[in-house]
Structure 1
Amino acid sequence: MSEKLAVAEGASEPNAKIRFGVRHSLTLLALVWTAQILPIVSLLAGNAQSAVAIHFHTTQIAWFGLMGVLIGTFVMPFVVTAAGMYGKRRVMIVISVLGLIGDVVAALAPNYATMLVGRGIAGLYVPIAALSYSIARDVFPRHLVGPASGLMGGGLGLVGLGGPFLSGWVIDDFGFRGALWFMAIATVFSLILLITVVPESPVREERARMDWLGGVLLGGGLTAIVYAIGQGATWGWTSGKLCTYIGAGVLAVIAFVVVESRVANPLFPLAMLKRRRVWTVLLATAVVAAGVYSVGTVMQLLALMPNIPGMSAGLGWSATKNALVTSPMSVLIIVVAVVTGILARRVDARILLGTAALFAAGGFALGSHLHHSASEIIMMGLVAGVGTGMTASIVPIMIIAAVPPEEQALANGAQSLVQGVVQAIVIQLTFVVMAKGGTVLQGTQFYSDSGFSNGFWLQAGCVALGGLLILLIPRVKRLDEAEVGQAATS
């Protein structure tokens, strides 16, 4: 009883000490790991993609990472709605089990097509990050939400610091299939933590019929657009097939808006998305984060592709050397993310996001010129790392400040959906601009120095655009003004 009273008092006191008890510490540990499942998988996939491309002799390696994004985009509306009705923790467990099945299929795949099927099934747990940040609002008291979100975001730095060393060892000793099996192991560990440590959120929406038509229209429409852009270089950017897919996708999204305005229980209430405070936050954070997280595509290919004069401008590093070179950036991400979470209690989140965009775009622009040696990569990382750490921390905090608790899961899902679409498009375009001037040998795409430079410029441009979109955001609540900690105070 006294513990509950202390927590409740802490939840209502913005100046309460930032101190995690045993229960909250265990919950935080579980959510940090669960929130970073996708970065872990992305890192392993990124470090393995060169070996996968060479092993299967494919120029379509972009789909190794994007297949899961497509499926995740499609199921996101359904997962978020189910989480609101049946409980976030319960739904997180279900999609983790399904994702684990996909990991196993990919690890056992005898050919590239089967591997893509497994990666697609694994994409069913793409929404888990959005649900992790959403449930954090419900299970921590007010004075711990900011630091918890910062630590969850800072987990990206832990992944970036330890992940490359781990993946380097796995790939060097066990090949790319070892990396795929480690993805399955990471998912199993997440499942154990979810089942044993994380409490269920008490926040519920009224149970209603699932809006299947709306979900199919939205997910299908966005998937068609992303798929078409991914095939643009093959079909031709002015081809009728490309225009048909994009046109059909746009019409499906328009039809979704019409359906949502008429059904009794829409997937994403248009009233929420019409509020300026909400849609501007969703748009700006999605574009900034998409650019920040897409740069890994360029950096991993740059570091791990072989150096073949006149054909491949990769640095030819091992995954272990890449880990050593990028470790200063990873440490910086952790520190900056935690500090940002604390600052968000007092500082306007728009300023923090704008600062993140400035550092990230500047770092990527620097990388477009300086990416030929370890010292240059470190220099770029120290600038971009500040932006990455701030972005990882402030994005979920801005969602918390923009919506009330009952809309938290929907808002996180909408932000993740928009970010996923933008990120998929940016990654697809990244492969297109990098391939220009490159060479295809025995079915494998190699990249020139100018291709890598163009890739960095594309990421910098995306982040800069997101930075400009911040100007549209009206004043949002500081974190210490937001309504949080429902489960902790119950």
Structure 2
Amino acid sequence: MESPDSSKAESRSGGVVGILAFAGIVAAITQTLVVPLIGELPTLLDTSASNASWVITATLLAAAVATPVAGRLGDMYGKRRMLLISLIPLIVGSVVCALSSSVIPMITGRGLQGLGMGVVPLGISLLRDVVPAEKLGSSIAIMSASMGVGGALGLPFSAAIAENASWRVLFWVVAVLAFAVATLIWFVVPAGKENTAAGSFDLLGAAGLGVALVCLLLGVSKGADWGWGSGTTLGLLGTAVVVLLAWGWWELRTREPLVDLRVTARPQVLMTNAASILVGFAMYAQSLVVPQLLQLPEATGYGLGQSMLAMGLWMAPAGLMMMVMSPIGAKLSAASGPKVTLTVGALIISLGYGISLPMIGTDSPWGLLAATIVANTGVGFAYGAMPALIMSAVPQSETASANSFNTLMRSIGSSVSAAVIAVVLAQMTTDFAGFALPSEDGFRAAMLIGCGVALAAAALAFFIPVPKTAAQPEPGTAPQATSEAAESETESESEVKA
């Protein structure tokens, strides 16, 4: 019979998971917030289309730089504290955007919002400290799935407000939601384990990684507009490579690095991060293709002529499926290990792409709905498994930074996906009423690429070397003990030799 104390503790941990998942949903809504406004931004902000595109790019760049920094600071000074600090620029940025009437303040506000995107990896890492071991796997899966739920709700929510009210309402709503998250975290979520030996922050490492990521993602995201052979694009990509090499040299030599590359180089962590890049690519490719197919005119022969709001509603069930399937993925991880769940998830993503191919060119959106539901089921499995694999292979003192680095790998995969799919669709076009639109063959090629990348992710996941002691982990417990014991043993041997 369950004691009242254990029941109370379980209820409290359930509330904590719910609040952190809510934080993830708000972060995801923030990312999709301006999608319905893309076509109108030049008019709304009295600027050119190329300048308006920075409203999206600024968030991507700020999030890429802030995520690993927030993770390291979370390990040093407390994950709950950094969660609250990360929500401040998210709230302020939302208010700045809501009050903007020109492009510079809007880009500034969106950049501030991007600084708050570290809440998801921080929240997942905090679970390791505050949730009972037996509930950790399912809690990680729910928290990971919150991004899908936020994306599912964000698109129709944003479209509905954009069509029926002032676009400024979108940002005021996000500001209120972020403030509500901060209030709940302040009053309900416990602090977790403090790192008594916080050490010093690697400022030079943070600056180097920031410069490298900005150059890399800027070159990848804007290469199609500037030209892949242009001096600007090649210069940015070349600078990214040089700075990354210098950054890696520094991180291996400094005593307290921003990212512990020796831990990151452990086969389990390294291959999980590599698989994360591929999963991020595969996840994002279908989210670029399906909305276009739904919205293109029916007269093209393959477009379905849906409005922005209708498109968002057709896409919503796929995102919600991530949350529905997360408990099943957690049970599979508990029974067979997160490596199996990641492999199965990637295979399911590839199956979703396979289902989508015969559905392109039909006159019904139901086939695409089925394909996105299947693909996002796989994404839910994979996104729940990756943090579990990472946390079972790193010391508890590096949980947040390792998780944030894994999140960064997924973001890089998504950015590369956007660039590759954009090139494919731009090269394979058809003339429609004097306009060049992506052709049916172009969409099929994009889906085939997504399918192939998902299969590659499954193959890589299958070969991730997981020690037998960590094959069926309660993430972050036994492997952590093993890691700490090994470190302790190494220190003892050093003392003896000395």
Q: TM-score range by the shorter chain?
A: 0.7 to 0.9
Indicate conservation of the 8 Å contact 1:368/1:454, yes or no: no
CA contact (8 A) 1:235 1:241 kept: yes
Native 8 Å contact 2:137 2:474 kept in 1: no
Q: Does 2:21 align with 1:32?
A: yes
Q: Is the 8 A contact 2:152 2:315 kept in 1?
A: yes
Please point out which of 78, 81, 95 is paired with 1:87.
78
CA distance in 2 between counterparts of 1:385 and 1:479 reads 24
Residues in 1 aligned to 2:358 and 2:55: alpha-carbon distance in whole angstroms:
28
Which of the numbers 466, 469, 486 marks the counterpart of 1:475? 466
Deviation at 1:180, TM superposition (A): 3.2
Query: Is the counterpart of residue 212 in structure 1 residue 206 in structure 2?
Result: no
Q: Where in structure 2 are the equivalents of 1:51-70 lying within 5 Å?
A: 51-52=40-41, 58=49, 63-70=54-61
Give the residue type in structure 2 aligned to 1:354.
Answer: T
**Counterpart position of 2:347:** 358
Q: In structure 1, how many angstroms separate the alpha carbons of the residues matched to 2:36 and 2:456?
A: 28
The answer to whether the aligner puts 1:405 opposite 2:425 as a matched pair is: no
Q: CA deviation at 1:406?
A: 1.9
Residue 109 (str. 1) matches residue 100 (str. 2): yes
Partner residue, 1:196: 187
Q: Distance in 1 between matches of 2:126 and 2:267?
A: 24
**Contact 2:72/2:398 (<8 A) preserved:** no
The aligned length equals 470
Match of 1:136 in 2: 127
Indicate which of 290, 294, 311 corresponds to 1:322: 311
Task: Write the distance in 1 (CA, Å) between the matches of 2:358 and 2:437.
Answer: 19
Q: CA deviation at 1:346?
A: 1.6
Partner of 2:242: 251
Shift in alpha-carbon separation, 1:440–1:234, aligned structure 2, 3 A: farther
2:12 corresponds in structure 1 to: 23
Aligned with 1:72 (options 60, 63, 66): 63
Query: Who is 2:143 aligned against?
Result: 152
Q: TM-score, normalised by structure 2?
A: 0.84
Q: Aligned letter for 1:470? A: A
Q: Name the residue aligned to 2:297.
A: 307
Q: Is the 8 A contact 2:122 2:400 kept in 1?
A: yes
The 1:209–1:475 alpha-carbon spacing in structure 2 relative to 1, beyond 3 Å, is closer
Measure, in 2, the Cα distance between the counterparts of 1:173 and 1:68. 25
Residues 140 and 484, structure 1, Cα contact 8 Å, conserved in 2: no
Instruction: List per-residue Cα deviations over 1:415-435 (Å, max 9, x = no partner).
Output: 112222222222233333333
SS in 2 for 1:231: helix
Structure 2 contact 284–418 (Cα < 8 Å) conserved: no
**What does 1:149-298 align with in structure 2 at a 5 Å threshold?**
149-159=140-150, 161-204=152-195, 206-298=197-289
Q: Which residue of 1 aligns with 2:414?
A: 423
**AA at the equivalent of 1:351:** V
Residue 161 of structure 1 and its aligned partner are, at CA, apart by 5.0
How many Å apart are 1:327 and its aligned residue?
4.5
Moved more, 332-341 or 132-141: 332-341
Equivalent-residue separation in structure 1 for 2:63 and 2:427 (angstroms): 29
Evaluate the alpha carbon distance shift between residue 328 and residue 232 of structure 1 in structure 2; reply closer, same or farther with a 3 A threshold.
closer
Against the structure 1 CA distance between its residues 168 and 245, is the aligned structure 2 distance closer, same or farther, given a 3 Å change threshold? closer
Deviation, 1:234, is: 3.1
> Matched residues in 2 for 1:235 and 1:327: separation?
33
- 2:359 maps to what in 1? 370
- On the 8 A contact 1:358/1:467 being kept in 2, the answer is yes
* C-alpha distance in 2 between matches for 1:307 and 1:167: 22
Distance 1:85 1:282, change over 3 A: same
- Name the SS of the counterpart of 1:467 in structure 2: helix
- 1:267-313: per-residue Cα shift (whole Å, max 9, x none)? 1122212211221122212321342145323333443x452856x97
* Equivalent residue, structure 1, for 2:336: 347
Corresponding position: 1:389 with 2:380: yes
In structure 2, C-alpha distance between the alignment counterparts of 1:425 and 1:161, rounded to whole Å? 22
Q: Which has the higher contact order (CA 8 A, sep 6+)?
A: 1
> Which structure 2 segments of 5+ residues have no match?
481-498
Give the letter for the 1:183 counterpart: V
Amino acid at match of 1:171: A
* % identical aligned pairs: 24
Q: 1:203 to 1:168 in 2, by over 3 A?
A: same
RMSD: 3.2
Which one-letter code corresponds to 2:413 in the other structure? V
Q: Which sits farther off after the overlay, 217-226 or 160-169?
A: 160-169
